[in-house]
Amino acid sequence: MVKITLPDGSTIKISEGTTVERLAEQIGQGLAKAAVAAKVNGELVDLSAPIMDDAHVQIVTFKDEDGLEIMRHSCAHIMAEAICSIWPDAKLVYGPAVEDGFYYDIDLDESIRPDDFQRIEGKMREIVEADRPFVRKEMSRSEALAKLSGDKYKTDNINRTDSEVISFYSHGDGFEDLCRGPHVPSTGKCGSFKVMSVAGAYWHGDPTQKMLQRVYGTAWPDQKQLEDYLYRLDEAKKRDHRVLGRQMDLFSFNEAGPGFAFIHAKGMIIWNQIVDFWRTLHDKYEYQEIKTPIILNEELWHKSGHWDNYKENMYFTSFDDADYAIKPMNCPGGCLVYKTGQHSYRELPMRVAELGLVHRHEASGVMHGLFRVRQFTQDDAHIFCKPDQIESEVIGVIDLTFETYRAFDFEDFRVELSTKPQKHIGSDEIWEIATNALKDALVHKSIQYKINEGDGAFYGPKIDFHIRDCLKRSWQLGTIQLDFSMPERFGLVYTDEDNTEKHPVMIHRAVLGSFERFIGILIEHYGGNFPLWLCPEQVRVLPISEKTNGYAGSVHTKLRESRLRCSCDLTDEKIGAKIAKAHGDRLPYMLVVGPKEAQTGTVNVRMRGIKENRTMDIEEFLRTAKQKIADKDIDVTF
Ligand SMILES: [Zn+2]
Ligand SMILES: [Zn+2]
């Protein structure tokens, strides 16, 4: 008998050689039915795998990311068979799972076109309906190489693994593919899929190699989830911030400055509201704010290490016979400000924020509206502290970060911790102190996090914050990076309790990342329907006819006195047309006023997204609207 430990800590005895599938049945019929694969001592295996020793076992279902990934990858095999049955000349290269789906790189002279997708899907459906088992076959490396001789792609795949045992998976009917696995038990588990697109992709991403055809698909546990996903994709297209940004007159781009955004008046209102909120919050968390120049001489960038590590992304200029660079980051400027004074341990921690305008040269091909630009404003800050203050400072940054995200209606966060890379500076001891401080801070805040082993910057470990928007898309926004290098490079010191001079620890952090990109994300997250506090125009007064223009004017004045952003539509248009225009402009509130309202000092309120309208006292409307602004309420209705 062998002892199996389950994720909840309970144990179960089974006879040696029992398959994972039988084990799942012993645990429960429901689980056995949902089972896709299993994790045995942390390693993913097929349901048909026998368990030979004591082990920790987790049955993997579609509720786990791993389960989805296995199903999506299995779908890639099914699509590969479908493609090979339509084009017998197709050579298979590589077919992994990716976020939300999978792809397969195919070498085929004939182009696969979107018209062909239905045919491919039809074949795939036949394979799925036949519910054929995935069968694993293992052989030695040399046997596998002999079996695949002449197939340069698959031979290359084998040469890229160091495993001595090579496995193949077949799913009946003679189709077989080299694969490490695992797979779903049978093709019937891959029910809801769609072939999405095809694009050119070089073998190994190398432009000197042959251009292959990369066919993408998406796959979900059931039809409903597939339809939800397709809806989200469609919705994302409709919410494209580049389209809404133009419609709403928020920003533009011009060939005069590729990758440099022009923020229009309405866009600046949103921008400034975010800045005001940012300042209030940074004051609450006891930050100082500074501003440093965007052009600084080349020598500084040699000293900071940017010249050696970041030169390709920098812009340069020269004047007065000297060479300068336009800053890609704010840190060196922040260091120079720190250096202008003497610092005692009593002053630490020093939290110094800067809304810094940075320029980073990006290849023209990767630019994408506000998401990827060459000039942007970072909500940057540097915290100078003692090593024993790292944990509490990081906790403070985490609190500030989450408070910021919640104000914009982002509640779904993901945190990743990146640790010491191969190439690094600083002693192992300081790395350990710093990494543990980051971990302790996360544990203190009861935050689940994923570790990216070896993914830290060369100068220190870091925490990254990711949010999910309402379309479940993930965005990396904030970051906290510890730095042991820059304070030394710049000779930053403080006088410690024992009267000796020491280098402070420098914490680089950003919460929103880039203002431009964040506004782009907000436009898509809200679908252009901004909450009241961010709306460029919050209220519009719409007189029914010329006769009530006077009353409309007095309502408008009251709104202005209450500092609401508002206008009054005094055009000759019919009221229906005025309302339609205000709807199109995504106005949160329209105040329709006619003779009746003028007589009683009321307004007829129409709210964005609501059919019914409501007559109320103007003072009551003002009170409610102001409260919604103060609360940063996401919902404009009341
Ligand atoms: Zn596979
Ligand atoms: Zn920095």
Ligand nearest to the CA of 333: 2
Pairing of strands 165-170, 55-60: unpaired
Instruction: Give the Cα separation of 574 and 212 in Å (integer).
Output: 59
Average pLDDT, the chain: 94
Model pLDDT for residues 419-442, shown as the tens digit of each residue: 998 888 778 888 898 899 999 999
Model pLDDT for residues 139-164, shown as the tens digit of each residue: 999 999 999 988 999 999 998 888 88
26, amino acid identity: Q
Residue 498, pLDDT above cutoff 80: yes
Residue 274, pLDDT above cutoff 90: yes
Instruction: Give the Cα separation of 348 and 385 in Å (integer).
Output: 5
Across the range 330-343, mean pLDDT stands at 96
Pairing of strands 2-5, 55-60: parallel
Q: What is the model's pLDDT at position 433?
A: 87
Instruction: Give the Cα separation of 221 and 315 in Å (integer).
Output: 48
Residue 166, pLDDT above cutoff 80: yes
Q: Which helix (H) or strand (E) holds 217?
A: strand 211-220
Q: What is the model's pLDDT at position 484?
A: 81
Across the range 461-483, mean pLDDT stands at 93
Distance 55 CA to ligand 1 centre (A): 25
Residues 6+ apart with CB under 8 A from 193: 75, 78, 79, 121, 124, 217, 218, 219, 220, 226
Distance 88 CA to ligand 1 centre (A): 20
Residue 172, pLDDT above cutoff 80: no
Decide if 462 is catalytic: yes
Residues 6+ apart with CB under 8 A from 489: 303, 304, 305
DSSP 313: G
Distance 148 CA to ligand 2 centre (A): 51
Ligand nearest to the CA of 485: 2
Instruction: Give the Cα separation of 76 and 127 in Å (integer).
Output: 12
Distance 154 CA to ligand 1 centre (A): 12
Ligand nearest to the CA of 328: 2
Q: What is the model's pLDDT at position 457?
A: 84
Distance 71 CA to ligand 1 centre (A): 10
Ligand nearest to the CA of 481: 2
Q: What is the model's pLDDT at position 430?
A: 83
Distance 210 CA to ligand 2 centre (A): 41
Q: Which helix (H) or strand (E) holds 439?
A: helix 428-444
Distance 621 CA to ligand 1 centre (A): 61
> What is the separation, in whole angstroms, between the first and last Cα of the chain?
65
Across the range 184-211, mean pLDDT stands at 93
Distance 622 CA to ligand 1 centre (A): 62
Give the SS3 label for residue 216. strand
Q: Which helix (H) or strand (E) holds 81?
A: helix 65-86
Distance 156 CA to ligand 1 centre (A): 16
Q: What is the model's pLDDT at position 41?
A: 93
- Secondary structure string (H, E, C) spanning 355-374: EEEEECCCCHHHCECCCECC
Tokens for 168? 């193949």
- Residue 269 · residue 506 · CB < 8 Å: no
Instruction: Characterize 105-127 residue by residue with b for buried, 16 or more Cβ atoms within 10 angstroms of its Cβ, and e for exposed.
Output: bbbbeeebeeebbeebbebbeeb
581, amino acid identity: K
From the candidates 39, 171, 241, 360, which is the catalytic residue? 360
Express as a percent the part of the chain with pLDDT over 70: 100
Across the range 612-624, mean pLDDT stands at 95
> CA 474: distance to chain centroid?
3
Q: What is the model's pLDDT at position 363?
A: 85
* More confident call, 457 vs 415: 415
Ligand nearest to the CA of 134: 1
Tokens for 470? 């309402």
Across the range 536-557, mean pLDDT stands at 96
Give the residues across from 506 on adjacent strands.
384, 483
Distance 159 CA to ligand 1 centre (A): 17
Confidence of residue 517 (pLDDT cuts 50, 70, 90): very high
Distance 507 CA to ligand 2 centre (A): 7
Across the range 532-543, mean pLDDT stands at 98
Distance 368 CA to ligand 2 centre (A): 25
Model pLDDT for residues 59-108, shown as the tens digit of each residue: 999 999 999 999 999 999 999 999 999 999 999 999 999 989 999 999 99
Decide if 360 is catalytic: yes
Instruction: Give the Cα separation of 407 and 78 in Å (integer).
Output: 45
Confidence of residue 298 (pLDDT cuts 50, 70, 90): very high
Residue 553, pLDDT above cutoff 90: yes
380, amino acid identity: D
Phi-psi category of residue 446: left, alpha or beta, with phi > 0 → left and psi -120 to 50 → alpha: left
Model pLDDT for residues 234-256, shown as the tens digit of each residue: 998 999 999 999 999 999 999 99
Distance 330 CA to ligand 1 centre (A): 46
Give the SS3 label for residue 352. strand
Ligand nearest to the CA of 378: 2
Instruction: Give the Cα separation of 601 and 621 in Å (integer).
Output: 12
Across the range 338-346, mean pLDDT stands at 96
> Looking at 555-628, which runs of residues are DSSP E strands?
566-568, 589-593, 602-607, 613-617
Model pLDDT for residues 554-579, shown as the tens digit of each residue: 999 999 999 999 999 999 999 999 99
Residue 309, pLDDT above cutoff 90: no
Confidence of residue 301 (pLDDT cuts 50, 70, 90): very high
From the candidates 378, 389, 481, 538, which is the catalytic residue? 378
Task: Quote helix, strand, coil % in the chain, to nearest 5.
Answer: 40, 30, 30
Instruction: Give the Cα separation of 410 and 468 in Å (integer).
Output: 7
Decide if 538 is catalytic: no
Ligand nearest to the CA of 305: 2
Ligand nearest to the CA of 157: 1
Decide if 424 is catalytic: no
Residues 6+ apart with CB under 8 A from 211: 200, 201, 202
Of 198, 220, 291, 197, nearest in space to 69 by CA: 220
- Residue 404 · residue 453 · CB < 8 Å: no
Q: Say if pTM beats, i.e. exceeds, 0.85.
A: no
Distance 612 CA to ligand 2 centre (A): 51
Decide if 464 is catalytic: no
From the candidates 282, 462, 503, 628, which is the catalytic residue? 462
Pairing of strands 37-40, 2-5: unpaired
Confidence of residue 518 (pLDDT cuts 50, 70, 90): very high
Model pLDDT for residues 358-377, shown as the tens digit of each residue: 999 988 878 889 999 999 99
